[in-house]
Amino acid sequence: MVSEAAVLQALRAIRDPEAQQDIVALGLVRDVRITEADVSFTLAFTAQSPQAKATIHSMASRLVSQLPGVSRVQVKMSGGAREQPAAPAHGAGAAHGAGPVRSAELIPEVRHTVAVSSGKGGVGKSTVAVNLAVTLSQTGGTVGIIDSDVYGPDVPLMLGARGRPGMFENRIIPVEVHGLKMMSIGLLVNEREPLVWRGPMIHSFIQQMLRDVMWGALDYLVFDMPPGTGDAQLSLSQVIPLDGVVMVTTPQEVALLDVRKAIGMFQKLNVPLLGVVENMSHFVAPDTGRRYDIFGEGGGRRLADEYGIPLLAQIPLDPETRVGGGTRRRRRCFATSRWRCARAWTSWPRSSRCRSSPESVSRSRSTLVLPIFPLPDVTFFPHTLLPLHVFEARYRVMVMDTLARDRRLAVVKLRPGYEAAYAGKPAVHPVAGAGEIVSWERLASGRYNILLKGEHRVRIERERPSDTLYRVVTAQRLDDVPPAGNVVPVLDRIRGACGRLLRALDRPADLLDTALADGQPPGAIADRIAAAVLPDATLRQELLETLDVANRLARVSAALEDLVNELLGGRE
């Protein structure tokens, strides 16, 4: 008869993908019972995502069933007891209190949620929210932003986002711009169309932005809140599992009056106050260098001292911020190194602030160990999404193991003549696209539907010895070679060719707006257009292997021109 020690030893091979510890050490395995050849135990999950729970449950059942002397395994799932923090006191103590319990069903893979709010309209909440999100992204975090202000959805304009979000498996794919995942009602309605919504409709909209959007794994999700303290704010604060709120004000007393009301609301809801940002703090004349306190002086400092919370930043009136945040076509985001609101997170332990520490970034840039998924005609580019339907047994196991590890795998194009060697290990192209599984579904038939988000190119160095049914390789990450000269002309030619192509195919003119949007690296535009438009599989693989961005753009431009001429028969 198998022993309890043998069962626990087998289960130690399973690691929680988020905590990176084995499930026995985490205390997830409880109530182990052994009756002759029957084994039963309970997995007492806590904050694991639904995907992680399913993966751990499946692997636990499989590993224990493989032990000698075991004929039947029963694995139960339950929610483990969690210690809930006490609600913070009102006033100064609220700055360091704990927020409401996170709703794991809505955003199971988001580590930190931060709201940017103010009781006053026009103080620059959206400016602060966008800059905060971009700054957190620049520190190495994976960041999303929700434009919760349905009456004035300005975030798409500030980030230069165009086009509508995509759909996959009845879920919304957020728009990606400047390294952020972003959703806003402004992406779904005409920019001049007013929304006349009552509180319940806003409540439902926010729930949909959490539940029905494929956010994937995020270190931070930033919410640009609407002004005021009415029904909308109450509904938003109740549905969003907030870790904290950044209050934005201008120095004058009329703004401080409304911000105090908003602070009182968040205190009643036990939402921690992370600090105050004083926007439009002063103006420095560019010709004389003289400082003018247009809206008064010290309002943000007085407010922070009154509530015992940090003054995070004093942001001056700056024409560059106005230009960057108010024009849709630009070459870069308007967040600059001078903006320091992200200091609110310097007191958090690094392990909780961001998964991508300098050490982990260094490791990710060196050698990678990846499962490979070989396909005959598919080229997987960075900055793109690739849906896959996995039927074969070996690759179903690969998906399960990848979900339990770090969700990353490489999609490799098979070399010509692969059919003769398919029963064994056919040759593959040495350069592949690597990415993360951001969404997955397991059907009753055993088939997996997965969605991959491309991250970078890799060069396969060697195959690793493995007892798995699928192939595991050692790979080296490949980085783009940035263009030395001006690529604006070739980008304009690509945009023009795409416009003519859509007209020739009688497709909507804005169909490729997201792929062609400003604010993203030129290499990303080339990759997205190649994946979406170019039909030649050989050319796509050659473009994947082209690291020189200028060369890649030129080839994409030429291929688009050839495609348009072929469709039009030389007639424009």
Paired tokens of 286: 């560019």
**Cα–Cα dist 274/180, whole Å:** 22
CATH number attached to the domain at 4-79: 3.30.300.130
For residue 539, what is the DSSP state?
A: H
Rounded to the nearest integer, the mean pLDDT of the chain is 78
Report strand pairing: 180-184 vs 175-177.
antiparallel
**Cα–Cα dist 490/29, whole Å:** 58
Work out the number of other CB atoms within 10 angstroms of the CB of residue 214. Answer: 19
Q: Which amino acid type is present at position 395? A: Y
The pLDDT assigned to 454 comes to: 92
| Residue keyed to tokens 């966008």 | 130
CATH number attached to the domain at 360-478: 2.30.130.40
pLDDT per residue over 376-422, tens digit each? Answer: 888 999 999 999 988 888 788 888 888 877 788 999 998 887 666 55
Q: Give me the architecture of the 115-348 domain, per CATH.
A: 3-Layer(aba) Sandwich (3.40)
pLDDT tier, 322 (very low <50, low <70, confident <90, very high otherwise):
low
Q: Which amino acid type is present at position 126? A: S
**Cα–Cα dist 434/370, whole Å:** 8
The ranges assigned to domains in the chain are 4-79, 115-348, 360-478, 488-568
SS3 260: helix
Quick one: average pLDDT of 241-265?
Answer: 85
**Cα–Cα dist 277/263, whole Å:** 13
The least confident of 3-12, 87-96, 126-135, 248-257 is 87-96
Q: Which amino acid type is present at position 69? A: G
Quick one: average pLDDT of 259-287?
Answer: 84
List Cα–Cα distances, 176 to 81, 82, 137, 160, 248, in angstroms: 37, 35, 12, 11, 25
The pLDDT assigned to 91 comes to: 36
Half-sphere exposure of 572 (CA within 13 A, CB side): 6
Quick one: average pLDDT of 434-448?
Answer: 86
Of the candidates 428, 479, 481, which has an alpha carbon nearest to the alpha carbon of residue 455?
A: 479
pLDDT per residue over 178-210, tens digit each? Answer: 888 888 888 877 766 766 666 667 777 777 888
User: Residues for the chain: how many in total?
Assistant: 572
**Cα–Cα dist 396/154, whole Å:** 43
pLDDT tier, 547 (very low <50, low <70, confident <90, very high otherwise):
very high
The pLDDT assigned to 21 comes to: 80
List Cα–Cα distances, 372 to 395, 458, 472, in angstroms: 9, 11, 6
pLDDT tier, 256 (very low <50, low <70, confident <90, very high otherwise):
confident
Cβ atoms 80, 27 nearer than 8 A: yes
Work out the number of other CB atoms within 10 angstroms of the CB of residue 193. Answer: 9
DSSP string of 422-457?
Answer: TTS---B-SEEEEEEEEEEEE-TTS-EEEEEEEEEE
- β-partners of residue 314 are 278
- Kindly tell me if the per-residue pLDDT of 227 is higher than 60: yes
**Cα–Cα dist 432/375, whole Å:** 11
Paired tokens of 437: 């599984």
The pLDDT assigned to 423 comes to: 56
Quick one: average pLDDT of 415-437?
Answer: 80
**Cα–Cα dist 232/75, whole Å:** 43
Cβ atoms 18, 49 nearer than 8 A: yes
- Kindly tell me if the per-residue pLDDT of 339 is higher than 60: no
The pLDDT assigned to 110 comes to: 83
- Kindly tell me if the per-residue pLDDT of 564 is higher than 70: yes
For residue 68, what is the DSSP state?
A: T
**Cα–Cα dist 299/305, whole Å:** 10
SS3 460: strand
